[in-house]
Homo-oligomer: A and B are copies of this chain.
Amino acid sequence: MEKTAQNEDLRVRRTRKLLQEALIELTVEKGFAAITVRDITERAMVNRSTFYRHYLDKYDLLDQYMDEVYTLIADAPIQPGRAARGEPEVPAGLLSLLRHIQQYSDFYRVMLGGEGDARFIERYRQNAERRYRYLLNLLYGPSAGDNPDLPPLDLRLSYASAASTGAILWWLEHGQAWSPERLAIWIGQLVSASVGLPLRIGAEVDPQPSRAAAFNR
């Protein structure tokens, strides 16, 4: 409720918005790695030196943008995602995340794929892992995951979290031909099978205390 609030200087808010939008557009067009700060500022019609007044480099711009995104998602009222009769319940946190990704599908399709950024992917994976671990603890208590018949819990979580990026990438590369609800259920199924315990719940809440930690870098 300080920096991104509305009491921020109008010019500042405008500049940052323009730069964020330019970043997203250019990422879609030529891949994150190929973007230069000059590209961004030219697209945003902002002076290059102004860029540096707000961000350290393009990675910082991405980070701060993802921070804002995550804060918005976390703060937004969870829209229940009315599960049809007989359907498995939809993981609510995952659902709102997927809805956001769908909104910027082009951007995430690039960023999670080969033209994206390894740090971005890795932070995404760590976020997912943290979320799964949190959920597991919430549902089954601290030592729920222990099971001598299965691979170590940490391995299963690393496996499942990396897998999630694969699932989402598949979705995006097929034009999101299924609804976020549908995908959320599928991912829920797959992650449950990987972790070894059913994770389908509606009461899920983002473990982050509103201000999402640095997403990237």
Stretch at the interface among A71-79, A150-158, A199-207: A150-158
A53 CB to closest chain B CB, in angstroms? 15
Contacts A114-B118, A118-B116; A162 near B155 (Cβ below 8 A): no
- Do B170 and A166 touch (CB < 8 A)? no
What are 13 A-to-B residue pairs whose CB atoms are below 8 Å?
A33-B118, A114-B119, A118-B121, A150-B189, A154-B174, A158-B167, A158-B170, A159-B164, A161-B166, A163-B163, A163-B194, A190-B194, A193-B194
Chain B residues, Cβ within 8 Å of A151: 186, 189-190
| A169 adjacent to chain B (CB < 8 Å) | yes
Chain B residues, Cβ within 8 Å of A171: 155
| A125 adjacent to chain B (CB < 8 Å) | yes
- Do B166 and A159 touch (CB < 8 A)? yes
Chain B residues, Cβ within 8 Å of A193: 193-194
Distance, CA A169 to CA B162, complexed state (A): 10
Distance, CA A165 to CA B33, complexed state (A): 21
Partner of A169, one of B114, B158, B164: B158
- Do B166 and A125 touch (CB < 8 A)? yes
Q: Which residue of B lies closest to A173 (CB)?
A: B158
| A17 adjacent to chain B (CB < 8 Å) | no
| A123 adjacent to chain B (CB < 8 Å) | yes
Main secondary structure of the interface of A (DSSP, over half): helix
The 8 A CB mask of A93-131 against B (1 = contact, 0 = none) is 000000000000000000001111111111101000000
A65 CB to closest chain B CB, in angstroms? 18
Distance, CA A159 to CA B189, complexed state (A): 12
Partner of A115, one of B113, B118, B169: B118
Closest 10 CB pairs of A and B: A162-B166, A163-B163, A114-B122, A158-B170, A151-B186, A158-B166, A114-B119, A159-B163, A116-B118, A159-B167
Chain B residues, Cβ within 8 Å of A170: 154-155, 158-159
A132 CB to closest chain B CB, in angstroms? 12
10 other A-B residue contacts (CB within 8 Å) besides A151-B186, A162-B162: A113-B118, A114-B118, A151-B189, A155-B170, A155-B186, A158-B166, A159-B166, A159-B170, A159-B187, A159-B190
